Amino acid sequence: MEAFVTTLLLTAIVQTGDRSQLLCAGLAMRFDRRALLIAAVAAASVAGAAIAAIGGQVVGDWISRDALSLFYALSLLFAGLGMLGWRRPVDLLQGWRIGPFFTTLFGVMILQFGDKGQFIVAATAARSHDALWPLLGGATGTVIGLIPGIVWQDELARWPLRPVRIGAGLCIAALGILLALSAFGLV
């Protein structure tokens, strides 16, 4: 259950002001089909979290406990640092003519593939030697993190996302550093 809760919280936080959230806001303005977009986000989140969780569980069987601790710490450190960096502009997929569900499904899957949240899910699955709880936590956290983009679309631009991203990024990076030092036996 710890794997579920930590993965849910971390993946929801790292979505704040992220390109995926902004893509969801743009697609919600374009299509105005909130329930359908949320369903597509849920499907994309489950698929991405499943890939990450299964991969993490496989990796977890191959490496030592200390290496797993370091892998988890680095996933948090890089997620936190990723929240501090500059983001490229979001392509709103205007040229895609495959409907609101599939545009959202594939757009979110592409943006999420190899993203911060997936590494957190993989590292948690590797560390816990369980794919189910990190998968469920990661998928749920991603959906929770992306729904504000769909529901509040244009209001999202007025929210102070940058300070929130910086604060959360610094906290997550600091936690990653602390866990890395612990993995090396320095704390």
Report the distance separating Cα 162 and Cα 133, nearest Å: 30
Per-position pLDDT tens, the chain of length 187: 889 999 999 999 999 888 899 899 999 999 989 999 999 999 999 999 999 999 999 998 898 888 899 999 999 999 999 999 877 777 778 888 899 999 999 999 999 888 899 999 999 999 998 999 999 999 999 999 999 999 998 787 788 888 989 999 999 999 999 999 998 888 7
Q: Which two tokens stand for residue 39?
A: 């369903």
Q: Is the pTM of this model over 0.95?
A: no
User: Which range marks the domain in which residue 56 is found?
Assistant: 2-183
Q: Which two tokens stand for residue 151?
A: 């529901």
Domain tally for the chain? Answer: 1
DSSP string, 75-136: HHHHHHHHHHS--PPPP--TT--SHHHHHHHHHHHHHHTTSHHHHHHHHHHHHHT-SHHHHH
